[in-house]
Amino acid sequence: MKALILKSFGGPESFELRDVPKPVPQVGQVLVRVHATSINPLDYQVRRGDYAELVPLPAITGHDVSGVVEAIGPGVTSFLPGDEVWYTPQIFDGPGSYAEYHVAAESIVGKKPASLSHLEAASLPLVGGTAWEALVVRAALRVGESILVHGGAGGVGHVAIQLAKAIGARVFTTVRGANSEFAKALGADVVIDYEQENYVEVILRETDGKGVDVVFDTIGGATLARSAEALGQLGRVVSIVDTTQAQNLIQAWGKNASYHFVFTRQNRGKLDELSALIARGQLRPHIGAVHTLAEIAQAHALLETPNNGLRGKIAIAVVPQADLGGASHGL
Amino acid sequence: MKALILKSFGGPESFELRDVPKPVPQVGQVLVRVHATSINPLDYQVRRGDYAELVPLPAITGHDVSGVVEAIGPGVTSFLPGDEVWYTPQIFDGPGSYAEYHVAAESIVGKKPASLSHLEAASLPLVGGTAWEALVVRAALRVGESILVHGGAGGVGHVAIQLAKAIGARVFTTVRGANSEFAKALGADVVIDYEQENYVEVILRETDGKGVDVVFDTIGGATLARSAEALGQLGRVVSIVDTTQAQNLIQAWGKNASYHFVFTRQNRGKLDELSALIARGQLRPHIGAVHTLAEIAQAHALLETPNNGLRGKIAIAVVPQADLGGASHGL
């Protein structure tokens, strides 16, 4: 099979498309024909070596799969060949999704939502699972509360806005001005152009000085420290962007704040919860660009470019796009 | 009545014992004859001006009361004159406890545990409420889990060890070597002399590399960042020491850690919970020194001295010690 091999840690040119042996499903595993995958900041972090000690080279990387079960290993009970599936491969534990075939433990594999194309379905597992973990599991956002989503036009951010609305929260989000309408269309109640406005001032004004209940940080930098200023008493900050930048958190004590640090833990349960929202029309991934496996360097370079103008996700077609039902993927 | 007046922000000499009018209880308030109070790091932080914008001068400060109800205001239903009570005055909202009399809303006042002397009872409300808020409300420490209490011989720390044992947790604690036996007697399972041993190494060794479920930081400094190294997956750090020292929290994401920042919120409910533990013999404050109101400068100076050799709390006798049942306070 064709697979993208990461030869060495470095720039987008570090991948090479090669022929490698097709994997064979073992006990409890399914063999999946990958129809589409997608890219995430985690992918270029892995590529450049941020997690070098956890990734033996050469490696097949990639963290999203939408595809069709081709064969099952002994003991598999949840899937049959022909089933459409989606999932995030075990992070830092075996090959990733940048390949024509992938094997995975059935316990982490979900049934793909029927209303999504493979390109759409491949755009959601990692970011959707991350947003679910952050808002539902860790921050425990509740109906009637308010949330600030930093970076609402991004891969995780555009899913978080929809999830927060589904939960019944009032949603503030920061975006570049050009993405304001996009964020509104996703359901955000108050869209803040962070290049024009101070988000702390906007939030304190809009909440009568009380601040929001939850801040979701998808952008990093000095956001951990500053977000506390926009937070109400007993507020929660959730961050998915690991940074070595030292932060002065003095505002956190007076707010009785909680900070939750999230590195995604994937499982089927979260995928099934997301499927339910998709079926009810409360959640749909947005694809900002589509590339092929052979164009991965180009796709990585695009995602890494600051202010790249992207909205939502970059999907990667692994089978020819004509086979992916392109009309339905929302481009 | 006699009261200690904080004339200006500064050193321990900033207090002056003066005659001031005895307060009169208003609707929903009780007038309490203060038999004893105690001192806490919060008291010298207030004195030196850390919260200057919240403390109009001249001020009566102090955050613990054990005493006897002398009169009740209109509408009070929970107390009668003669009732023994204990509580933490509303922080940053009205006069504190360094005085012969104090008025408080009945909603924050609890019935003093009968088995404690006034000196003991005055040693517990702020530190006990803080430990309860940190371990029970915020970190949600559960039976069978493990916890590291930083500073186990201190005012909050020595209560936290007992509370964690009552919860059914395995307790690690850091102390100076001279306080090891004291910490063991409080119930700590593993006592770490932080001047001789690296607590991260000890904990990883004792937990088969897993780390603890909860770290309770009562000491501040760089503890926020370093504690993550001793933490297990989905572990929680709770800190009660506000610091402007910038912290590199990079270890927190990989652990899926939560950090809870606590500034005490006082209420009667927590006092009643503590009373139940005291009645069952699971909790008892330890008094390391006793001073009088007139000796407050000396007491503050002692608490502020690093490595002061103190164990537990400094209690302050407001009525003559002969009236306090000294024999029962555990000195």
- Residue-by-residue pLDDT tens, chain A, 331 positions: 999 999 999 999 999 999 999 999 999 999 999 999 999 999 999 999 999 999 999 999 999 999 999 999 999 999 999 999 999 999 899 999 999 999 999 999 999 999 999 999 999 999 999 999 999 999 999 999 999 999 999 999 999 999 999 999 999 999 999 999 999 999 999 999 999 999 999 999 999 999 999 999 999 988 999 999 999 999 999 999 998 999 999 999 999 999 999 998 777 889 999 999 999 999 999 999 999 999 999 999 999 998 888 999 999 999 987 666 543 443 3
Could you tell me if B227 and B252 are in contact, meaning their C-beta atoms sit under 8 angstroms apart? no
Q: Let me know if A4 is exposed, middle or buried by CB neighbors in 10 A (0-12, 13-18, 19+).
A: buried
A62 Rama class: left (phi>0) / alpha (psi -120 to 50) / beta: left
Could you tell me if A105 and A90 are in contact, meaning their C-beta atoms sit under 8 angstroms apart? yes
Enumerate the H helices of A82-154 as residue ranges. Answer: 118-122, 125-132
Given this model, what pLDDT does residue B308 score?
A: 87
Domain A127-261 = CATH 3.40.50.720: yes
pTM as predicted: 0.92
The residue among B20, B19, B122, B37 whose CA lies nearest residue B300 is B37
Q: Token digits for A55?
A: 């990734």
Given this model, what pLDDT does residue B331 score?
A: 38
Residues of chain A with CATH 3.90.180.10: 2-124+285-329
Q: Let me know if A273 is exposed, middle or buried by CB neighbors in 10 A (0-12, 13-18, 19+).
A: middle
The model's confidence at residue B65, banded by pLDDT at 50, 70 and 90, is very high
Given this model, what pLDDT does residue B130 score?
A: 96
Could you tell me if A19 and A133 are in contact, meaning their C-beta atoms sit under 8 angstroms apart? no
- B248 reaches A (C-beta below 8 A): yes
Residue with tokens 């919970």: B273
Query: With an 8 Å Cβ cutoff, are B253 and A244 in contact?
Result: no
The model's confidence at residue B324, banded by pLDDT at 50, 70 and 90, is low
- B226 reaches A (C-beta below 8 A): no
Could you tell me if B131 and B123 are in contact, meaning their C-beta atoms sit under 8 angstroms apart? no
* Residue-wise DSSP of B76-127: --S--TT-EEEE-PPTTSS--SSBSEEEEEGGG-EEPPTTS-HHHHHTSHHH
Give all strands (DSSP E) within A59-157, no chain letters.
65-72, 84-87, 101-105, 110-111, 146-150
- Per-residue pLDDT, averaged over B311-322, amounts to 90
Could you tell me if A319 and A2 are in contact, meaning their C-beta atoms sit under 8 angstroms apart? no
Task: Report whether pLDDT(B328) > 60.
Answer: no
Homologous superfamily in CATH for domain A2-124+285-329: Medium-chain alcohol dehydrogenases, catalytic domain (3.90.180.10)
Query: With an 8 Å Cβ cutoff, are A261 and B256 in contact?
Result: yes
Given this model, what pLDDT does residue B306 score?
A: 86
- B244 reaches A (C-beta below 8 A): yes
Query: With an 8 Å Cβ cutoff, are B258 and A256 in contact?
Result: no
The model's confidence at residue B229, banded by pLDDT at 50, 70 and 90, is very high
Residues of chain B with CATH 3.40.50.720: 127-261
Query: With an 8 Å Cβ cutoff, are A258 and B253 in contact?
Result: no
Q: Token digits for B59?
A: 């001020």
Contacts of A191 (CB under 8 A, 6+ apart): A152, A172, A173, A175, A180, A183, A184
What φ, ψ does residue A260 adopt, rounded to 5°? Answer: -110, 125
Give all strands (DSSP E) within chain B, no chain letters.
2-6, 15-19, 29-39, 65-72, 84-87, 101-105, 110-111, 146-150, 170-175, 190-193, 212-217, 231-239, 258-261, 287-292, 313-317
Burial call B228-259: b when 16+ CB within 10 Å, e when fewer: bbbbbeebbbbbbbbbeebbbbebbbebbbbb
Task: Report whether pLDDT(B79) > 90.
Answer: yes
Q: Token digits for A35?
A: 């129809």
Query: With an 8 Å Cβ cutoff, are A247 and B246 in contact?
Result: yes
Write the single-letter amino acid at B107. S
Q: What is the sign of the dihedral through the CA atoms of B62, B63, B69 and B72?
A: positive
| Total beta-carbon pairs less than 8 A apart between chain A and chain B | 76
Q: Chain B residues with CB inside 8 Å of A248's CB?
A: 244-247
Instruction: Return the half-sphere exposure (C-beta side, CA atoms, 13 A cut-off) of residue A328.
Output: 13
ipTM over 0.95: no
- A209 reaches B (C-beta below 8 A): no
Q: Let me know if B289 is exposed, middle or buried by CB neighbors in 10 A (0-12, 13-18, 19+).
A: buried
